Structure 1
Amino acid sequence: MNPILSICIPTMNRAGLMMQALQSIHESEIDKSKVQICVSNNCSDENYDAVLALIEEMRNSLKVDYIHQAHRLSADENMLETLKLARGDRIYFLGDDDYFLEGQLPKLMTLIDEQDPDLAIFNGIAVDANNINLGTHFTLPPKEYVSLEETFVDLRDKGSFGAILVKRELLKETDFRALFGTSHAYGCYWIPILNNPENLRRIIVPDFPLVALRTGKKTYNHLKVYFSDIPYEIETYKKLLKPGLPQKLNKGFERRYYSKIESVKFLIYLIQTGMDLRKIESINPEVFKRIRLRTTLAYVIYHSGIYGVLRLIKRRFLTTGDIQ
């Protein structure tokens, strides 16, 4: 019997964090016969012996498929490798540095059984390297969408890896491959959803947080993702989407996206995370030409001390303690 849910976890050089991700599943009180774990190790340099030992233990009650890549793949390619292992009707993509919150995975299984969503996008809790709660990752009200336009406007940039549940049939390998190089190929479910607006899928934001999303050090280049990969993704959508409403919605997202990444507020955020804004010029010269003066202003504001004070106030109100 095929599982109801396949949890897909691509991993690379995060053996310690991967243990917590797996344990959050292993320790959940769910019907494990309905769940499959799919892991693709992207030719890690780290020792994964402890992870493999845990996987062997998990196999007593769970279906676990594990593959170690012989050669290093791109992030998008490794995501697809986990999907190839999946046999479940629903796919949940989980980051190897993220984990399910205690007691919440049973709610996910109930959600699948009772609401049968085509796509569910979850609010997540942002945590640091020590599992300290940094606040809600997104603030999305619980909702079931009835308008494709409203769905796309609200959720197009909210489908974080680690916080989405999607029907397997919406993840076409051809669409996935077409989005290689975007760092968001897993979001290819938007292609069939947009190209068939007359057949609105059941898309929801559930009423409970499901995962802890790690904000620590990532293995990818943030500036490249924001100023090269996602712009490339938008251009690829233009080639894959049908004329009419699908193209109109993508065009609207394009306007909103550039407005966001070119704003002083966003540039300050990048500085705060340690990014060197001068590197944008080599990544996307056209955008850098437009924002050159704003990058200077962002540095002035950040180093003036005002930004630090505002962040301190915000964090004091958001931080509520440890996530267990």
Structure 2
Amino acid sequence: MKLSIILPVYNVEKYIVKCLESIYFQDVSTNDYEVIIIDDGTKDKSMELIKEFSKKYNNIIVHHQENKGLANARNKGIGLAKGDYIYFLDSDDYIKGGVLSTIMSTIDLYDLDVLTFNSKSINYSDILDSLEITQNKNFNVNVETGVEYISGRSYKNEVWWYVVKKSFLEDLNISFSEGTYVEDGIFTANVLLNAKRIAHIPLDMHRYVQRPQSIMSKKTPRHYHKMAVDMVNVAITFKPLLDSLEPTSEMQVKAYNRLKVRQESYVFFGLLRMLSSNIRLKEVKLILNEVRKAKAYPLTVFAGHEYSGATYKALSFVFSKKKLFCLVFRIANPVLRKRAS
């Protein structure tokens, strides 16, 4: 078994059939890959649709469990996977037609720890685009270490940009942090930083479907609170990753600086979400003290190449002054305004 596609499922009845169709609109034998579906306690008709779809194929494995969240479902999928390589696909997203042969042949030929490719955001109305096979597969492959890869590009946090060798994850004991919304952040940084053989190919592979009811689009004060705390915790967890790098060469310095920007970006966007959350000012002050201990605050490199706009620079200046941010928090926070009125 060359590839295991791990597919957590939770209330995606509108999307799941098209997602599965894209997985099977491919140019390889179903003997070469498996689809591991983790039913994470879905409450809609997703599993009924999957049961009907799976009658056509013998390489679909289904695991049922109570709702434990996306990170837990992915970790369970890793444990069940029989493939040499793993790909994490969200069940409301899609992959392009006719891409798996290129993915499999590339990881075989170059014995990679990680392979990366291209993704594109689409609306739900554009999903048929996934079933068109219009690929240019004539490209050069440059194998790098993970540190070289990070130093040379603004890498992506989301795991669906990457195919990863299973034994690589197991040897390094890399898994998803459970109970958090931003479970991809530390997982991806760990994978890239530890990879010895990684390559990127300009293959049009993945489709990210933007939908208003997704987890990342919820806009309640309680949700913003949870998101803010999770983002800050990721920034704190970045400290040992940064400490593991010895910036003694130009390449290592570039990788360190890029990871530093990524660490501070979690702090920045966490603080931004606090302004619309139900978090209390006392907790905000405690969090700022914690990120300072992790050397992720104040923001020293955030407003640079990746976040270079005037708005980022202005907000970064305000957020980096603890007293000033707390003042802005008092003024902008909707919960405090409601209490005051």
Within the candidate set 137, 144, 168, 1:170 is matched to 168
| Pairwise CA distance, 1:155 | 5.9
Residue 129 of structure 1 corresponds to which residue in structure 2? Answer: 124
Which residue is 1:285 aligned to? 284
Name the counterpart of 1:12. Answer: 10
Pair 1:158–1:193, CA change in 2 (3 A): closer
TM-score, length of structure 1 as denominator length: 0.69
Q: Distance in 1 between matches of 2:82 and 2:19?
A: 20
Q: Assess if the C-alpha contact under 8 Å between 2:145 and 2:197 holds in 1.
A: no
CA offsets 1:214-256 (integer angstroms, 9 cap, x no match): 1213135574676332332232343577744399856752444
Whole-angstrom CA distance in 2 between matches of 1:213 and 1:257:
24
The residue that corresponds to 1:115 in the other structure is 110
CA distance in 1, matches of 2:161, 2:100: 12
**TM-score, structure 2 normalization:** 0.66
Relative contact order, higher structure (CA 8 A, sep 6+): 1
1:39 aligned to 2:37? Answer: yes
Letter paired with 1:238:
K
Q: Distance in 2 between matches of 1:95 and 1:37?
A: 12
Contact kept, 8 Å, 1:121 with 1:158, in 2: the verdict is no
Q: CA RMSD in A?
A: 4.0
Question: Are the counterparts in 2 of residues 101 and 212 from structure 1 also a CA contact under 8 Å?
Answer: yes
Question: Quick one: distance in 1 between partners of 2:186 and 2:154?
Answer: 9
Where in structure 2 are the equivalents of 1:1-324 lying within 5 Å? Answer: 3-47=1-45, 48-59=47-58, 63-69=59-65, 71-131=66-126, 144=142, 146=144, 148-153=146-151, 157-172=155-170, 174-176=173-175, 179-182=177-180, 183-184=182-183, 188=187, 190-191=189-190, 194=193, 201-216=196-211, 217-220=213-216, 223=224, 227-239=228-240, 243-245=244-246, 253-259=259-265, 262=268, 277-279=275-277, 281-282=279-280, 285-286=284-285, 291=325
Matched letter for residue 151 of structure 1? Y
The CA deviation at 1:64 is 1.5
Q: Which has the larger radius of gyration?
A: 2
What is the number of equivalent residue pairs in this alignment? 273
200-209 vs 90-99, which deviates more? 200-209
Q: Which amino acid aligns with 1:119?
A: V
**In the TM superposition, what whole-angstrom CA distance separates every residue of 1:77-101 from its partner, at most 9, and x where no partner exists?**
1111111110111001111011111
Amino acid at match of 2:120: I
The percent of aligned pairs where both chains have the same amino acid is 21
SS in 1 for 2:214: coil
Asked if 1 retains the 8 angstrom alpha-carbon contact of 2:114 and 2:163, the reply is yes
Tell me, yes or no, if the aligned pair for 1:98 and 1:162 is still in contact at 8 Å. no
Give 5+ residue unaligned stretches, structure 2: 130-138, 289-318, 333-341
The structural deviation recorded for 1:20 is: 1.1
Instruction: Note the residue ranges of structure 1 that are not aligned, 5 or more in a row.
Output: 135-140, 268-274, 299-324
The answer (yes or no) to whether the contact 1:171–1:186 under 8 Å persists in 2 is no
Contact 2:6/2:87, CA 8 A, preserved across alignment: yes
By how many angstroms is 1:259 displaced? 4.8
Aligned-partner Cα distance in 2 for 1:58–1:95:
20
Deviation of residue 143 (structure 1)? Answer: 6.5
